[in-house]
Amino acid sequence: MVENFGRRLQERIRATGPLCVGVDPSAQLLDAWGRPDSVEGVEFMALSILEAATGAAAAIKPQVAYFERFGSAGYRVLERLITEARDADVMVIADVKRGDIGATNDAYAAAWLEESSPLCCDALTVSPYTGVGALAPFFSRCVQGRGVFVLAATSNDEGRALQRARTDADEALEDLVLRSVAELNEAHDALGPFGVVLGATRERPRFDLAALHGPYLVPGVGAQGGTPEQVGRLFERCREGTVLVNVARNIAIAGPERPALRDAVARWRDNLTIFL
Amino acid sequence: MVENFGRRLQERIRATGPLCVGVDPSAQLLDAWGRPDSVEGVEFMALSILEAATGAAAAIKPQVAYFERFGSAGYRVLERLITEARDADVMVIADVKRGDIGATNDAYAAAWLEESSPLCCDALTVSPYTGVGALAPFFSRCVQGRGVFVLAATSNDEGRALQRARTDADEALEDLVLRSVAELNEAHDALGPFGVVLGATRERPRFDLAALHGPYLVPGVGAQGGTPEQVGRLFERCREGTVLVNVARNIAIAGPERPALRDAVARWRDNLTIFL
């Protein structure tokens, strides 16, 4: 195994394209599938989407909120999804947006990145409101192929004013996050394990996106209004295999039938590959 | 039951003092207790602290990261802690710092504030990096006595530069959070259900703290260097019963023996009561 998440993900994207399939077993999608909004419904949808993504997408991204709705029983389903994804050789990015002070972040990092944890994934998303420096325990566990994506600019409009607020050094927060993560990646040649979340629907930040030397996770394509063309333009100068685009609802809406779901995955992958 | 979290908490603080006992079953504290760093160790520590807090503190605040380290088994322990706290009539504030885009926040709100969820608590902490507007699903579930605490200024130094960044309207983010939450509380007479997290170690924000008309959750006292005097000064103009101060490590360090632990709870409560 390549011992660096950035390069592992790059290899995977080169092999299977830039699509990450979101696993968002919401009440609405379960209803659209004609399934109950229950832990069994969540399990059925999650494993169906994993099956459709296997061999056809670079990764899956479970949105952990939809599992957490069912407490420990929902987490058991998440553990099963993670285990089965590992067996199927599909990378898993836990969308959890954790972020606290240092000591607590160390416990979160243990939960999501330590081999011994039943929730161990390839990477997780983290939120920087407590300061990028407070995220150090996540960064220090990005070894043995594991990685992290720090929120810079999210796909929703409500985040804009806050994420573009300026520090005393007159730097927008989204740029502060990008620059800080880029500095961490400098210790790695070519491509580091530290990534950033940047919404497809956002304007180009001031920071030169090609200078991150790490992977991007891009939400906001499909149901949230972003298009593959937009993503292609936003990241046009970035290295091949460093942009991973999440599509959730617009794939799941194909319904539970295996051929339709696999077809939706292939269609989105092909759409994205044209522009990335 | 009073149908407003702010007033429920105020009544509780008037009856039992402003202390919230943090439940942080970390590897380090379990070691200090001579207990294994396992799900059994976590359960023993969590229930011991609940017992010590019962009748002597206004609330407990489980730091969910320490439970999540053990995946679904850790969440089962958390569910038991929540159930037993409810039976013991101790309020529970889930320290989870959740924060995502709207649809996802709705799922998180269902997990932590819906009566039918096994994780249902009295309140939870949320993080505003995706924008205060994105937190609306949490606010709309603050009914039937449930509440929320939005991070404004955290207790750690690394958060300062980011939380004091200024928006286009030249408002610091910590002030933006305080003002936004205060505006939500305006719909409630006297005291609303929407709270804010403000670290004991932080300087006074520009926003007039007495104008929140909601509760404060104050971390950073004890192990992180904040003192009861500091908290008293910071919130001196706030209404009685609106400031809840969390102490975790400095109580747990008393060890697992019941009298020592209850004594530590009583000592911290009395220390805080002098200044609040």
Does the structure show a pLDDT above 80 at B242? yes
Rounded CA-CA distance A242/A244 in Å is 7
DSSP3 helix / strand / coil % (chain A, rounded to 5): 45, 15, 35
Which residues of B are known catalytic residues? 97
Residue A224: the pLDDT is 87
Give the number of A-B residue pairs with CB atoms closer than 8 Å. Answer: 199
The beta strands (E) that lie in B159-241 are given as 194-198, 216-218
In chain B, what percentage of residues exceed pLDDT 90? 95
From the candidates A8, A97, A141, A179, give the one annotated as an active-site residue.
Answer: A97
Could you give the 3-state DSSP secondary structure of residue B217? Answer: strand
Instruction: Give the minimum alpha-carbon distance from A141 to chain B in angstroms, rounded to a whole number.
Output: 14
Q: Which CATH architecture has domain A5-205+212-275?
A: Alpha-Beta Barrel (3.20)
Q: Provide mean pLDDT across the span B222-232.
A: 93
Q: Which residues of A touch B127 (CB under 8 A)?
A: 97, 99, 127, 129-130
> Which tokens belong to A168?
């005393």
Q: Residue B225, Cα to own-chain centre: how many angstroms?
A: 18
Task: Please name the residues in contact with A169: beta carbons below 8 A apart, sequence gap of 6 or more.
Answer: none
Residue B2: the pLDDT is 59
Residue B1: the pLDDT is 53
Could you give the 3-state DSSP secondary structure of residue B195? Answer: strand
Shortest CB distance from B118 goes to which of A71, A101, A107?
A71
Q: State whether B107 and A156 contact (CB < 8 Å).
A: no
167-196 of B, contacting A, C-beta below 8 A: 167-168, 173, 176
Instruction: Give the minimum alpha-carbon distance from B272 to chain A in angstroms, rounded to a whole number.
Output: 23
Residue A2: the pLDDT is 59
Q: State whether A69 and B168 contact (CB < 8 Å).
A: no
Q: Provide mean pLDDT across the span B235-244.
A: 95
Residue B189: the pLDDT is 82
Which regions in chain A score pLDDT beneath 50? none
Q: Which residues of B touch A132 (CB under 8 A)?
A: 158, 162
Residue of A nearest to B109 (CA): A69
Instruction: Give the minimum alpha-carbon distance from B55 to chain A in angstroms, rounded to a whole number.
Output: 27
Q: Provide mean pLDDT across the span B92-97.
A: 98
Angle, vertex CA A124, rays to CA A180 and CA B161, nearest 5: 30
Rounded CA-CA distance B193/B184 in Å is 9
Residue B223: the pLDDT is 85
Residue A13: the pLDDT is 97
Q: State whether B162 and A131 contact (CB < 8 Å).
A: yes
Q: State whether B162 and A104 contact (CB < 8 Å).
A: no
In chain B, what percentage of residues exceed pLDDT 70? 99
Give residue B4's region: left, alpha or beta (phi > 0; psi -120 to 50): beta
Shortest CB distance from A103 goes to which of B26, B71, B98?
B26
Could you give the 3-state DSSP secondary structure of residue B172? Answer: strand
Instruction: Give the minimum alpha-carbon distance from A258 to chain B in angstroms, rounded to a whole number.
Output: 26
Does the structure show a pLDDT above 70 at B68? yes
Rounded CA-CA distance B233/B146 in Å is 28
> Which tokens belong to A239?
């290295």
Q: Which CATH number fits domain B5-275: 2.60.40.10, 3.40.50.970, 3.40.190.10, 3.20.20.70?
A: 3.20.20.70
Q: What is the ipTM of this complex?
A: 0.97
What are the pLDDT digits (tens) for B18-42?
A: 999 999 999 999 999 999 999 999 9
Q: A101 CB near a chain B CB, below 8 Å?
A: yes
Does the structure show a pLDDT above 90 at B3? no
CB B145 within 8 A of CB B122: yes
Q: A129 CB near a chain B CB, below 8 Å?
A: yes
Residue A3: the pLDDT is 80
DSSP codes, B234-270: HTTTSPTT-EEEEE-HHHHTT-S-HHHHHHHHHHHHH
Q: State whether B119 and A71 contact (CB < 8 Å).
A: yes
